[in-house]
Amino acid sequence: MKDLKIWMNGKLVSQAEAVLPVNSAAVFYATNVFEGLRAYWNEADDEMYAFRLAEHFVRFRESMRMMRFTIPYSDVDLYQAVREALSGNEAREDVHMHLVAYVLGTGLDATSPAGLYINPRRRPRVAEDSGIRCCVSSWQRTSDNAIPIRLKSGSNYQNGRLATLQAKADGYDQPILLDQRGHVAEGTGASFFMVRKGKLVTSPITSDILESITRTTLIEEICPNVLGMDVVEREIDRTELYVADEAFFCGSGYEITPIVSIDKFQLGDGGVGSMTQRIRTAYMSIVRGVDKRYPEWRTATYKGVRV
Ligand code: PMP
């Protein structure tokens, strides 16, 4: 299958042409900020829907603000760029994209000029539907006073990389990271939710977690208003993980990924939990636009704008 083209600084180029100079802060220090987002193909509508672009753009700009650089693109330009990356590739299937702003100067204090690329890939599957086995990592989540995980910069992800490599070496699928105070933070690229005694619980945004768009989508709308489930945001202790009835990761990339065991403690009956399954079904049908509620969350990338 052919690689999709990359939108880079205004045009679609091949993967081989999308290169960065080795003597750039982007390459050497990973001085970039990015968003990971998904677009879903809806066969019945003959349309590709990008999910919650407006919220991704807000976070993108917050990340740049914290990293102290800017891009010469308005939000309208960003919408247009995402549309071109999808419709220009004639992508008619689910796609995951990285939207990346990078710094070209050389030093640690480099701030400009900043370039932009969008790298669309055919939807990589994160997890089997049957769920994943997690461990609690001995690597601690980077704290907000070191490198704030609240923002999405490539450099942050070495923390998750180390934890992932360790988890895999130890025979698990994914790690769960604890914050400095020993409370549950999140996964390496996903927010963490658990079910205890019938209640959905997730860590607060002060637990060194990314302010996840999927997490907000579940807390504010899908769980309470579509499914009638309230979510409690509170600190989670490590040992609560071992007696949880259900758990899952959520994120733009991970969608809703069930967790079936933690440190080899089986959760529930070891299968996908019933609340997790209901949340996953509701989420997947809304992001694809099969469930037509929340139309403001789905940006049509074909109709109106042809490239
Ligand atoms: N936490 C981290 C560290 C992440 O990288 C991601 C993926 N962006 C998430 C959580 C989930 O965030 P979102 O729902 O906004 O994709």
Render each residue's pLDDT in the chain as its tens digit; 307 residues: 678 999 999 999 999 999 999 999 999 999 999 999 999 999 999 999 999 999 999 999 999 999 999 999 999 999 999 999 999 999 899 999 999 999 999 999 998 778 999 999 997 666 667 899 999 999 999 999 999 899 999 999 999 999 999 999 999 999 999 999 999 999 999 999 999 999 999 999 999 999 999 999 999 999 999 999 999 999 999 999 999 999 999 999 999 999 999 999 999 999 999 999 999 999 999 999 999 999 999 999 987 543 3
What's the rounded Cα separation, in Å, for the pair 162 and 157? 9
Q: Residue 241 — φ and ψ, nearest 5°?
A: -60, -35
Evaluate the CA torsion angle 181, 182, 183, 186 in order and state its sign. Answer: positive
pLDDT of residue 113: 79
pLDDT of residue 307: 37
Q: Which of 252, 254, 255 to mutate to test the pocket of ligand 1 (most atoms within 8 A of CB)?
A: 252
The rounded Å distance from CA 196 to ligand 1 centre is 23
The rounded Å distance from CA 128 to ligand 1 centre is 19
Q: Which of 178, 214, 218, 222 to mutate to test the pocket of ligand 1 (most atoms within 8 A of CB)?
A: 214
Q: Is 248 exposed, middle or buried (0-12, 13-18, 19+ CB in 10 A)?
A: buried
> Are the CB atoms for 246 and 192 separated by under 8 Å?
no
Residue nearest ligand 1's atom 6 by CA: 189
CATH of the domain spanning 132-288, picked from 2.102.10.10, 3.40.640.10, 3.20.10.10, 3.30.2130.10: 3.20.10.10
Which atom of ligand 1 is nearest the CA belonging to 210?
A: 1
Q: Is 109 exposed, middle or buried (0-12, 13-18, 19+ CB in 10 A)?
A: exposed
Amino acid at 128: E
> Are the CB atoms for 191 and 214 separated by under 8 Å?
yes
pTM of the model: 0.96
Q: State the span(s) of the chain assigned CATH 3.30.470.10.
A: 6-124
Show Cβ contacts of residue 10 under 8 Å, excluding neighbours closer than 6 positions. Answer: none
pLDDT of residue 305: 47
Q: Residue 73 — φ and ψ, nearest 5°?
A: -135, 135
Which atom of ligand 1 is nearest the CA belonging to 214?
A: 14
In sequence order, the β-bridge partners of residue 11 are 8
CATH for 6-124?
A: 3.30.470.10
The rounded Å distance from CA 129 to ligand 1 centre is 19
Q: Which of 139, 159, 179, 212 to mutate to test the pocket of ligand 1 (most atoms within 8 A of CB)?
A: 212
pLDDT of residue 289: 97
Please give the order of strands across the beta sheet that includes 6-8.
11-13, 6-8, 114-122, 95-103, 32-42, 47-51, 298-300
The rounded Å distance from CA 252 to ligand 1 centre is 7
Which atom of ligand 1 is nearest the CA belonging to 35?
A: 8
Ligand 1 pocket, CB under 6 A = 36, 149, 186, 189-191, 210, 212-215, 251-253
Residue nearest ligand 1's atom 11 by CA: 251
pLDDT of residue 264: 98
> How far, CA to CA in Å, does 197 sit from each of 176, 261, 279?
21, 17, 17
Q: State the span(s) of the chain assigned CATH 3.20.10.10.
A: 132-288
Residue nearest ligand 1's atom 4 by CA: 189
